[in-house]
Structure 1
Amino acid sequence: MIHHRARRGVLAVLLGLAALAVTAHAANPYQPVPYVQFQHPEWSQDATIYQINTRQFTAEGSFRAAEKELPRLKKLGVGILWLMPIHPIGEKNRKGPLGSPYAVRDYRAVNPELGTLADLKHFVDRAHALGMHVILDWVGNHTSWDNVLRTTHPEWYDNDAKGQPRPTPWYDWDDIIDLDYSQPALRKYMTESMAYWVRDVGVDGYRVDAAGLVPQDFWDNASRELRVIKPVFMLAEWESRDMHAKAFDATYSWSWFDAMKNLAEGRADATSLHAYYAWNDKFYPREAYRLLGTSNHDKNSWEGTEFDIFGPATDSTIVFSFVSAGIPMLYNGQEAGNRKRLAFFERDPIVWQPSPYADLYRRLIALKKHNRALWNGAAGGRMEQVKNSDEKKIFSFVRAQGSQKVFAVFNFSAQPVHASFKDGPQIGTWRDFTTNATVRVDSATTFDLAPWSYKLFTQ
């Protein structure tokens, strides 16, 4: 734990560096100013995120039971463990028998259904001992109707003309009510609450729920204060470039998920991905981590499993999420090939079983760790398009970082394809990811690809 004087010293240094950058820019307005004004934790550069729905992760649904699974997750290779909200759940206007974890009743307490504060600390310590990091789900936009703040600080809520609290409009979020971030005291309380779990419990950052519904300047300051305590990883459930400047390491890529779903459903062709990757390459800063995944708690419960959503394109979409530009994540149970929509408001434990997906994820995570071309943000290689003979069906590219490279070819169509390629960065000798065979690729090389299949090569 850093002494408060040391923290003030670190903060002063950071503010001083920022002031120097502003001063330098004022002296020379043509001098570029870095868009991203903080450093990612070094341990996040090659990390894959694993989301844990503690309620459904084990038969017991507790931190202690989840802790027993940590050696398995270490073997799988994941680096960042995202725990869904760990706080007590509201009872007033509760949905279902157990309620939504996102209806928080007390930001400074632990949900007794999951265990004790000591159990959570033990989980975090054990994860750290195994070389993994833990982030908590933070629900800053709204609380349960019976949150402790409703009694102590009713003025911190977004109240209507009659002084009554209200939920976020238009959504069916009637089990929660919105906070009012025009209140400085609320901002201080929330920032200090986030700092508590980092400083005293040892967590390594946050996944922030509905991040864009809270003013950006709050996150900019809160993230700065957290980084004074220690390097933290911040993931925003939102899709916005501006969040990367001062606050968040990573943001969601819902547009990527939607584009892949359209492909799988035959409502678009492979060229539809060009717009996403053009924006990702030029509009977003190189340092930005864009979250890529084929499932999460929302998608699984409300839309279906990855098999429901992507159908025969599931395997290729999983691989694509690991080798294209972005930080990959998987939702608990995907490595078991889970085909069940997990209930959201009640206990519905995952049925764990042997599955070839465990080996697929393990190999993809290992490939990402060992090949710097696939690292996250600017630590990894940019995607360079490889022109092919059927752009509407085939998406092909090379990523390179130094001498390490990846060449990927995806048939994102329901038809078999005979593919050829123009001269480009794919020329060379490669190792086939699937067969481990050595393959020479030149201007005369062709591939026969089955529907929704892929070929992946590394150097």
Structure 2
Amino acid sequence: MKKLIALSIIAFISLYACKKETKTEPQNVEVQPDIPPVSPEMMENAVIYEANIRQYSPEGTFDAFTKDIPVLKELGVKIIWLMPINPISEIKRKATDGSFTSEIEDEAERKKYLGSYYSVSDYKAINPEFGTKEDFDELVSEAHKNGIYVIVDWVPNHTGWDHPWITEHPDYYTQNEKGEIIDPINPDTGESWGWTDTADLNYDNMEMRKEMIADLKYWVENHNIDGFRMDVAHKVPVDFFETVTTELKKIKPVFMLAEAEQPDLLINAFDMQYGWHVHHIFNEIAKGKATVKTFDEYMVQNENTLQDDDINMNFVTNHDENSWNGTLKERMPNNKEIFTALTYTMPGMPLIYSGQEYDLDHRLKFFEKDSIPKTRGAYFELLKKLGALKNSNPALNGGKNKASYKRLDSSENVLLFEREKDGSSLVFVGNFSNQPEQVHVSVTGEYTDYLNETKTKFPDTAITLQPWEFRIYTK
């Protein structure tokens, strides 16, 4: 017996020594990232894609979306923005008509309402609708393999009513005079915004801020994401976001998008803001309630208010616009192409929303399961060509070292501008009216009509544009 014990001890020591030996690793080995770090150069010619995982496919899963990432690469996408990936609160979960699902007696009817993505119950967990954290990691990995960065939609202004902080740290929330946690309030009216499925966070509480930052860092450190889109960023203190970005950049470079149009957010906290103002101008011009002059005034205003390295996100649709304000078919029934082309050619970064590439013509349900079409058509091909041009032509650089923008001539109906950088020149000309327009393009030299692949010599050639027709000329 003693002999057996001795042999066992020797075997154990030998095994331990082997294990210890196999753990020896070379020192100072740097782990290579699976994609180059976020950089200003990447932002110059990127297209951003908003992914609505629930509605992107019949399955509504990460895995189903991951399969199509190579398709997004075809469209010139360099950044994927995932709508919130966190679990959705059960308490005060909303139905489509605005009521709470708890008021619905029929269980089958109640279950079809999945709630708002923006009513988060746990910042560090995954919505089980979409899959697992492993599935999420595969999505990020596949995106990186295709040269695409991934940012996650974050909801910093409020949480759902069954977030652990509600019971563990009620002081993290805004409370009324009775000490009751309240939903977000419109400061202009003193009344609720109507986001009754959420509880308003109190940014006077420094401990809450620390926990929020820790949760944000978790996704960068453990799941290799490349930044965040911050929901209702204009309702959260600027200094909080400045601290967030500073802390995240200690881990790695990140890309930060603010759901706001607020220049002070771009100084030290965010790379890009929403182009809400110009989006509304697009809608007004499309309906004949505004002219190109309004767009010109907007561009002058931006020149006076934004810094050279500020980036605008330009869009014709997104999840809010599609679900609540109308499809492109409703808002731009005969002219979505010209406005889409403008989002790619004006300074800034163009956005594609899930389904837009397939010419989605219905409003996606917000609180229920829905799905988008997957049939490629002429609009898909237009986005593909515009994406290739955006990715490759320095004259469309729209980031922190953007190409120049020069308005050529002046007209109520015709928008004509030139952009230049590093010896490349691009001219956009568009007829934003219901009447044909003859245009004299005031540049000199031989240009290529990018979409038609024909040569044109200016200023000798006058062109006639049909209603809502546009041309993009490159040199």
TM-score normalised to structure 2 length: 0.86
| CA contact 2:158–2:199 (8 Å) conserved in 1 | yes
Name whichever of 373-382 and 192-201 sits farther off.
Answer: 373-382
Deviations 1:390-425 (A, max 9, x none): x0011110000021111011111111111224x4xx
| CA contact 1:250–1:288 (8 Å) conserved in 2 | yes
Specify the code of the residue in structure 1 equivalent to 2:473: F
User: Displacement, 1:368?
Assistant: 0.7
Q: How does 1:327-366 map to 2 (within 5 A)?
A: 327-366=349-388
User: Displacement, 1:168?
Assistant: 1.6
User: Displacement, 1:256?
Assistant: 0.2
Q: How does 1:199-348 map to 2 (within 5 A)?
A: 199-348=221-370
User: Displacement, 1:199?
Assistant: 1.1
Partner of 1:406: 426
Q: Distance in 1 between matches of 2:462 and 2:398?
A: 30
- 1:147 matched to 2:163? The reply is yes
Q: Distance in 1 between matches of 2:376 and 2:141?
A: 28
> How many residues were matched structurally?
416
| CA contact 1:86–1:137 (8 Å) conserved in 2 | yes
User: Displacement, 1:282?
Assistant: 2.7
- Flag the structure with larger Rg: 2
| CA contact 1:236–1:248 (8 Å) conserved in 2 | yes
Deviations 1:209-244 (A, max 9, x none): 000100000001101111111111000000011111
For 1:127, what is the secondary structure of its paired residue?
A: helix
1:178 aligns with one of 200, 204, 214: 200
| CA contact 1:264–1:310 (8 Å) conserved in 2 | yes
Deviations 1:308-327 (A, max 9, x none): 11222211000000001111
Q: Distance in 2 between matches of 1:378 and 1:431?
A: 27
Overall identity of the aligned pairs, in %: 37
User: Displacement, 1:185?
Assistant: 0.6
For 1:86, what is the secondary structure of its paired residue?
A: coil
Q: Distance in 1 between matches of 2:150 and 2:233?
A: 19
Consecutive unaligned residues in structure 1, runs of 5 or more: 1-5, 7-38
For 1:319, what is the secondary structure of its paired residue?
A: helix
Q: Distance in 1 between matches of 2:93 and 2:152?
A: 22
Deviations 1:167-207 (A, max 9, x none): 12242211111100011111111111111101110000011
| CA contact 1:431–1:438 (8 Å) conserved in 2 | yes
For 1:440, what is the secondary structure of its paired residue?
A: strand
Partner of 2:413: 393
User: Displacement, 1:148?
Assistant: 1.2
User: Displacement, 1:280?
Assistant: 1.7
For 2:335, what is the secondary structure of its paired residue?
A: helix
Specify the code of the residue in structure 1 equivalent to 2:212: M
Q: Distance in 1 between matches of 2:364 and 2:336?
A: 19
Specify the code of the residue in structure 1 equivalent to 2:172: W
Q: Distance in 2 between matches of 1:223 and 1:40?
A: 14
| CA contact 1:105–1:146 (8 Å) conserved in 2 | yes
| CA contact 1:386–1:398 (8 Å) conserved in 2 | yes
| CA contact 1:41–1:233 (8 Å) conserved in 2 | no
Partner of 2:462: 446
Partner of 2:71: 72
User: Displacement, 1:75?
Assistant: 2.0
Consecutive unaligned residues in structure 2, runs of 5 or more: 1-27, 29-37, 96-112, 186-191
For 1:229, what is the secondary structure of its paired residue?
A: coil
| CA contact 2:49–2:81 (8 Å) conserved in 1 | yes
Partner of 1:129: 145
- Runs (4+) of structure 1 moved beyond 6 Å? none
Q: Distance in 2 between matches of 1:171 and 1:222?
A: 26
Partner of 1:21: none
User: Displacement, 1:40?
Assistant: 4.8
1:163 aligns with one of 176, 179, 183: 179
For 1:311, what is the secondary structure of its paired residue?
A: coil
- 1:432 matched to 2:452? The reply is no
For 2:334, what is the secondary structure of its paired residue?
A: helix
User: Displacement, 1:105?
Assistant: 0.3
Deviations 1:285-310 (A, max 9, x none): 11111010111110000011122112
For 2:417, what is the secondary structure of its paired residue?
A: strand
Q: Distance in 1 between matches of 2:260 and 2:150?
A: 20
User: Displacement, 1:373?
Assistant: 1.3
For 1:200, what is the secondary structure of its paired residue?
A: helix
- 1:108 matched to 2:124? The reply is yes
| CA contact 1:223–1:247 (8 Å) conserved in 2 | yes
User: Displacement, 1:161?
Assistant: 0.8
User: Displacement, 1:41?
Assistant: 4.2
Partner of 1:10: none
Q: Distance in 2 between matches of 1:411 and 1:325?
A: 19
| CA contact 1:430–1:438 (8 Å) conserved in 2 | yes
Q: Distance in 1 between matches of 2:73 and 2:451?
A: 23
Q: Distance in 1 between matches of 2:73 and 2:93?
A: 36
For 1:61, what is the secondary structure of its paired residue?
A: coil
Query: In 2 relative to 1, CA 241–40 (structure 1 residues): closer, same or farther, beyond 3 Å?
Result: farther
| CA contact 1:50–1:330 (8 Å) conserved in 2 | yes
